[in-house]
Structure 1
Amino acid sequence: MTHLPPYGARDVHRPVVPQTKLQEDFFTWNEAEIASVSPPVFLPPTPLSPPIIDPFPLLSSDLTPRKLKRLLQAPEINRPSHFRHLHPSRSQELTQQPSRSYFSRFGSKSFGRRLDPPASSSYHSSLNPTGVAPLLIGFTRNWPLLLQCVSSYIAAGWPAEEIYVIENTGTMDANERGLLGLQNPFFMNSTQLGMLGVTVISTPTLLTFAQLQNFFAWTALQRGWTEYFWSHQDLIVFSYEHRRPSYSPAAAAKPDKSSNTFENNEPEEYIYRSLYANALHTLRQYRDPSHPKWAHHFFSYDHLTLVHRDAILSVGGWDTHIPFYGTNCDMYTRLMWAGYTQNESTAPATEAGHILDVSTVLDDIGALFRIPGIKASFPGDPDPPARNQKAEATSAAAVMTKDTSEITEAETHANLLSTACRMERAKYARGNGYEGRTKSWQMKQQGGQGEPFYRDAEGFGTGVEMWIETGRAVYSQKWGHRGCDLAKKWAAGKDKGNGNGLNDAWRVERDWDVEEEGNGGTGGGW
């Protein structure tokens, strides 16, 4: 972050002039005029959540960039040397412009503002020679959860230079200027993301979900990406490291030289792919010209999604009149009517990895990188392992202060996965409707009073809830129906048409009574 003067600092010593006539009309009054006005009645204060603590102390340490780079990399099994048995095509469809990593520009102010696509690394060229496979992660609030999500993707093998955090906080450049504190819900540390090698792209203002999806497509259009992945931020992901009992690097190093495709050339028992490699395996199948026209591929529904950009553009993008829930039903149905396939990984052979929906954060995110001495644990664990109950807590401080020869035990994949599964169960135990999420991860930071763009955390959530209901009402009016089962409804009426409602929006009578059941924001299929 670049620490610059706060907004308005240059105006502090400017003189205050008398109000203009317009200001006087709005902001002046006499006692008689306000005698009949009721003063505001304030609600009781909201109980504050415990303060957020630094979730990744190593990134705030004074370690040299060289040592940090050595520590902040994927475990050996998820690095490119383990994928030499996957033969890339020799073709190069995209030429990328060179760019520098955080570590090669240490001390520069250019972090997170890279405009060119990332440099083609050996990792990328060996697995994905036909172009970039960018992963876009939208962020609005809860920095610790974002940092955990990004770190888990890197640890699962996704190259950091192909990860783009879309800062959708609506705080302009306040985060880049260092004007927001850790307790502010909209705080984001772009310096630390740069240390991980991740690129930050900022939206010009706060966008709704539908607007953000269109921004993803616009970004892809501007950067020449024909496909891209996007992910929710409230996730923690892992490769299937435990599914490799017979993996043999020696055997895998003897592939069938006659083929240069992504298909498996070795017996299945020798195949191991990281989450990233599995995602690319799916992408290459869709890039096959003989594949039917497609729009989305879902990994664990839309927690991780592969998108075909031009399919989105061909149906006019996401409907921004439907800002949040319901807009996905609208988009996916329109794409289906337009003849695009949309598949989901439901079998082990097509899944990318473990994709877990969480609302809590590890006590030290460094555990994901298997840094010696850092163990996986999280606050409020309903069933912590006995090891964590008895052992003295270790943290990144141990890595920085102790002789590394004394710290040899790194966290295991099995315990990380077990811990993350408990994190997911804890989230769903609290309920996973919008209210459940509001009371968990979206409300954990409630500070920021006095900082630029301050928004009351609870009030912000209330505003979003109201917008959700309004968006559902718009959807219902648009299609004359409440709920996501539009395709079924149009199929039932195919005797009067072709079962395709692509051109029927806003031309359908409502199938509910507005006077008795409301404007469509509730009830029915909602």
Structure 2
Amino acid sequence: MPNRRQSFIILGCFVISVVFLLAAASKYSTPRVPEPPRPPKYKPNPDWVPPPVKDNFPLLHSAASPDSLPPIPKWNVPIHNAHNTTPLNLPVAPPLFIGFTRTYPLLLQVVTSYITAGWPPSQIYVIENTGVQQSNARGLLSLQNQFFLNHTALTRILGVNVVTTPTLLSFAQMQNFFLSLAYQHDWPYYFWSHMDVVAFSYEGGHGGMTPPYHDPGYKSIYTLALEALQRARNEDSKWGFRFFAYDHLSLVNRDAMEDTGAWDVMVPYYMTDCDMHSRLSMKGWSIKDERAGIITDVASALADLSMLYRVGLEGDVQPEFVDPNPAKPQPPGKKHNKRNEALESERERRGLKIEDRNAEEDDPNWVKWRKLVHTSDLQFQHKHSDRGRNTWQLGQHGGKGEPFYYPAAGLAEAIEVMTETGREIYRRKWGHRDCDLIGGTLLKFDDAWMVRKDWSR
């Protein structure tokens, strides 16, 4: 038997063990009070918010009928069924698709410019790619909503068509939506245009393509575009794309799209054009540059679009343009005026190289046209300053509480993330980072997703 000392030691160990067990049991039996949810950490409010956009075509939005608008210049009035006249004899009138997601003032500008330059309104199809379902058709959105579009003004007054996508599409998806419409309507070819451009015919004449507007044989942008289509069909059995001022206006052969599998929707935005154009070339479809008119890349809109009808341009009046998302005012002495030397060579590609002729300075019609063309050049320079090309997309910040509202800043950031994801998909698809698949690599059409990356870092 243990002696007395050992008994005390055993008893002490037993007591200590019981104490520890009771403490442990108490720890786990006492319910824990959960920590309260942490409050969200909000981003700081922007230190600059652009002013509300303004109606830049009040004459249109107050018009009761198409007759309420001024006539387009008579020399640009399109001939009825011009596509089917000699010597064109095209089987089908090609549609012109213009995709729209946001910034209505710019959309209205491009549509009005094509119409006043001579493109038949009935052949223009605005593709409403907003994701707001029928909200615009029902007039439920306000002008400050980035997705706002006035169906009545476009269809009943201007006479163009509006087709609404079933949901918000990426750039590549919208291109394939154009293609689906071409199948649906049995159009073997079609034009499409960016919405952030402004278009003019060569009313002052251009090289051997067309004499000035007042001379016999004058041809509008529409007529010259149809002639380019005719040349492609007659002279090239595998024509794919025809570019006018790069792809600011493009002509597409539906057969080429079918043969190459159309646009890769896995590359939703930037680099998707590199992918599409490269695959066309790999399959032997041609891509060539053409000219039909002056097509200028812009990030602003004329303050009053009635000037495209040559209204209010008399005397010393000069057209003004408005940036829907102007830069934050700069301190005195600091200027935003970084110029790119490449802009000058870009002028000729846009068809803007116009010889000033003293003999025309007394012609009021020529002077008005020249004012508009000069203003579009200023708009181009404004867009290609040091602010970035797509700042115009963030000009409208209203519409909260309206159907299918989405914050403008959130949409912009989400598209940036999707764009970068698309770049990575392109890199993995071709094992190449840059746009020079043709000329910079020996890749073939069937090499997609079959090759390892060709860079070390």
In the TM superposition, what is the alpha-carbon distance from 1:242 to its structure 2 partner? 1.1
Equivalents in 2 of 1:344, 1:277: separation in Å? 16
Equivalents in 1 of 2:438, 2:206: separation in Å? 41
In the TM superposition, what is the alpha-carbon distance from 1:512 to its structure 2 partner? 3.1
- Residue 233 (structure 2) aligns with: 287
Where in structure 2 are the equivalents of 1:237-248 lying within 5 Å? 237-243=199-205, 247=211
Equivalents in 1 of 2:167, 2:191: separation in Å? 22
In the TM superposition, what is the alpha-carbon distance from 1:452 to its structure 2 partner? 1.3
Whether contact under 8 Å (2:83, 2:226) holds in the other structure is: no
Does the alignment pair 1:174 with 2:122? no
* 1:123 to 1:476, Cα distance in 2 relative to 1, 3 A: same
Does the alignment pair 1:358 with 2:317? no
Q: Report the residue type matching 1:447 in the other structure.
A: G
Alpha-carbon deviations, 1:144-183, whole Å to 9, x = none?
Answer: 0000000000011000000000000011111111111100
Q: Report the residue type matching 1:416 in the other structure.
A: L
Query: After the TM superposition, which of the residue ranges 124-133 and 51-60 deviates more from structure 2?
Result: 124-133
Computing the radius of gyration from Cα coordinates, the structure with the larger value is 2
In the TM superposition, what is the alpha-carbon distance from 1:128 to its structure 2 partner? 6.0
Equivalents in 2 of 1:215, 1:156: separation in Å? 26
Whether contact under 8 Å (2:171, 2:268) holds in the other structure is: yes
Percent identical pairs in the alignment equals 44
Q: Report the residue type matching 1:510 in the other structure.
A: K
Whether contact under 8 Å (2:211, 2:218) holds in the other structure is: yes
Q: Report the residue type matching 2:245 in the other structure.
A: S
Equivalents in 1 of 2:212, 2:199: separation in Å? 24
Equivalents in 2 of 1:204, 1:320: separation in Å? 16
Does the alignment pair 1:49 with 2:50? yes
In the TM superposition, what is the alpha-carbon distance from 1:361 to its structure 2 partner? 0.8
Does the alignment pair 1:503 with 2:454? no
Where in structure 2 are the equivalents of 1:210-229 lying within 5 Å? 210-229=172-191
In the TM superposition, what is the alpha-carbon distance from 1:369 to its structure 2 partner? 1.1
Q: Report the residue type matching 1:210 in the other structure.
A: A
- Residue 449 (structure 1) aligns with: 400
Q: Report the residue type matching 2:304 in the other structure.
A: D
Q: Report the residue type matching 1:313 in the other structure.
A: E
Instruction: Return the match for 1:319 from 260, 264, 269.
Output: 264
- Residue 377 (structure 1) aligns with: 320
In the TM superposition, what is the alpha-carbon distance from 1:372 to its structure 2 partner? 4.9
Equivalents in 1 of 2:81, 2:254: separation in Å? 26
Q: Report the residue type matching 1:243 in the other structure.
A: G
- Residue 27 (structure 2) aligns with: none
Whether contact under 8 Å (2:299, 2:389) holds in the other structure is: yes
Whether contact under 8 Å (2:283, 2:445) holds in the other structure is: yes
In the TM superposition, what is the alpha-carbon distance from 1:122 to its structure 2 partner? 4.7
- Residue 381 (structure 2) aligns with: 425
Alpha-carbon deviations, 1:437-489, whole Å to 9, x = none?
Answer: 34x21011111111111111111111111111100000000111101111234
Equivalents in 2 of 1:300, 1:244: separation in Å? 15
Alpha-carbon deviations, 1:328-353, whole Å to 9, x = none?
Answer: 111111111111111013xxxxx111
Instruction: Return the match for 1:77 from 46, 53, 75.
Output: 75
Alpha-carbon deviations, 1:85-129, whole Å to 9, x = none?
Answer: xxxxxxxxxxxxxxxxxxxxxxxxxxxxxxxxxxxx355544665
Where in structure 2 are the equivalents of 1:96-495 lying within 5 Å? 121-123=80-82, 125-126=84-85, 129-194=90-155, 195-243=157-205, 247=211, 252=216, 271-288=217-234, 290-345=235-290, 351-372=291-312, 376-379=319-322, 412-431=368-387, 436-438=388-390, 440-491=391-442
Structure 2 gaps of 5+ residues are 1-31, 327-335, 338-363
In the TM superposition, what is the alpha-carbon distance from 1:509 to its structure 2 partner? 0.9
Alpha-carbon deviations, 1:250-277, whole Å to 9, x = none?
Answer: 984xxxxxxxxxxxxxxxxxx4211111
Whether contact under 8 Å (1:325, 1:472) holds in the other structure is: yes
* 1:249 to 1:139, Cα distance in 2 relative to 1, 3 A: closer
Whether contact under 8 Å (1:321, 1:474) holds in the other structure is: yes
Whether contact under 8 Å (1:329, 1:484) holds in the other structure is: yes
Q: Report the residue type matching 2:73 in the other structure.
A: P
Equivalents in 2 of 1:188, 1:307: separation in Å? 26
* 1:197 to 1:369, Cα distance in 2 relative to 1, 3 A: same
- Residue 6 (structure 2) aligns with: none
Equivalents in 1 of 2:99, 2:66: separation in Å? 29
Whether contact under 8 Å (1:123, 1:159) holds in the other structure is: no
Query: After the TM superposition, which of the residue ranges 40-49 and 148-157 deviates more from structure 2?
Result: 40-49
* 1:248 to 1:317, Cα distance in 2 relative to 1, 3 A: closer
Whether contact under 8 Å (1:292, 1:341) holds in the other structure is: no
Equivalents in 1 of 2:214, 2:54: separation in Å? 45
**Secondary structure, counterpart of 1:453 in structure 2:** coil
In the TM superposition, what is the alpha-carbon distance from 1:227 to its structure 2 partner? 0.5
In the TM superposition, what is the alpha-carbon distance from 1:64 to its structure 2 partner? 4.2
Alpha-carbon deviations, 1:124-144, whole Å to 9, x = none?
Answer: 544665311110000000000
Equivalent pairs, count: 379
Whether contact under 8 Å (1:124, 1:159) holds in the other structure is: no
* 1:32 to 1:77, Cα distance in 2 relative to 1, 3 A: farther
Whether contact under 8 Å (1:234, 1:358) holds in the other structure is: yes
Equivalents in 2 of 1:372, 1:64: separation in Å? 21
RMSD: 2.6
Q: Report the residue type matching 2:373 in the other structure.
A: L
**Secondary structure, counterpart of 1:225 in structure 2:** coil
Q: Report the residue type matching 1:43 in the other structure.
A: K
Q: Report the residue type matching 2:185 in the other structure.
A: R
Q: Report the residue type matching 2:385 in the other structure.
A: A
In the TM superposition, what is the alpha-carbon distance from 1:297 to its structure 2 partner? 0.4
Equivalents in 1 of 2:240, 2:377: separation in Å? 30
Q: Which TM-score applies when normalising by structure 1?
A: 0.68
In the TM superposition, what is the alpha-carbon distance from 1:363 to its structure 2 partner? 0.8
Alpha-carbon deviations, 1:219-248, whole Å to 9, x = none?
Answer: 101101001000000001111111279959
Q: Report the residue type matching 2:417 in the other structure.
A: M
**Secondary structure, counterpart of 2:446 in structure 1:** coil
- Residue 390 (structure 1) aligns with: none
Query: After the TM superposition, which of the residue ranges 274-283 and 44-53 deviates more from structure 2?
Result: 44-53
**Secondary structure, counterpart of 1:419 in structure 2:** helix
Alpha-carbon deviations, 1:193-240, whole Å to 9, x = none?
Answer: 011010001110010111111111111011010010000000011111
